[in-house]
Structure 1
């Protein structure tokens, strides 16, 4: 139950973020969540999209290099300690996290954290065995 994420590099200058998002909008690709990490000269833009293949094609048609990556979406209680509990379970399983970002599904009730694990298959198995709700792509995109 992994989720496909699309990543691309964008120049760190006015209008580039808009251009990438407009490329998706022009092809009717809905963005469910995104993360932007920047440096002085460029940024890494990561998307979870309603249609990853169409999104990748749209970005490539607009001149971006786009890459698919497997990430894991986990449901987290949206309260103090919810994320710490999930991270404790990941630590107990010896899972390595490269990066993560989150969004709230219903404020004060639940959130979803998108996590890039070094070994996503092992992460899905280990977290599921510990009772963590690993969100399937269909479930994630229908919320």
Structure 2
């Protein structure tokens, strides 16, 4: 169920985000989900995209630093306790969440949560053992 997220390091300057998004757009890459974390000097654009290799090449051509990371993508009930239920599974196994972001799609009644944890394998096992709805890159392409 591995999904590779891209992390793009951006200078916190006008036009840098647009330049990164434009590079991927011009290469025909569809952005499925994204999150931006920033500080005063730089930002990290985290993305799930339709084609990692093409996105990486397009971004590197524009001199961006890009890193691929394994993340877990989970479908959770789109209701008040949905996210909490998933977090309880991880907490029960003492698995720390480094960060997460989520999105919804009109094609499913679940919220889609992208989770980065310290130990990917332990997180997958804990969620699988609890019958969580783990999604693949192919599943995301259908949303």
TM superposition score category, shorter chain reference? over 0.9
Q: CA deviation at 1:2?
A: 1.5
Instruction: Within 5 Å, give how 1:97-108 maps onto structure 2.
Output: 97-106=97-106
1:140 aligns with 2:101: no
Q: By how many angstroms is 1:108 displaced?
A: 9.2
Residues 1-143 of structure 1: pairs in structure 2 closer than 5 A: 1-106=1-106, 109-143=109-143
Q: Which of structure 1's runs of 4+ aligned residues deviate more than 3 A?
A: none
- Give the Cα separation in 1 of the matches to 2:82 and 2:107: 13
Tell me the secondary structure at the aligned position of residue 105 of structure 2: strand
Q: Is the 8 A contact 1:4 1:71 kept in 2?
A: yes
Q: How many residues align?
A: 143
Q: Contact conserved, 1:95 with 1:117, CA < 8 A, in 2?
A: yes
Deviation, 1:125, is 1.4
SS at match of 2:54: helix
Task: Find the aligned partners of 2:108 and 2:83 in 1 and give their Cα distance.
Answer: 13
TM-score (normalised: structure 1): 0.95
Distance 2:95 2:141 in 1: 25
Q: Which runs of 5+ in 2 are unaligned?
A: none
Contact 1:2 1:124 in 2 (8 A): no
TM-score by length of 2: 0.95
Runs of 5+ unmatched residues, structure 1: none
Answer yes or no: is the 8 Å Cα contact 1:2–1:120 preserved in 2.
no
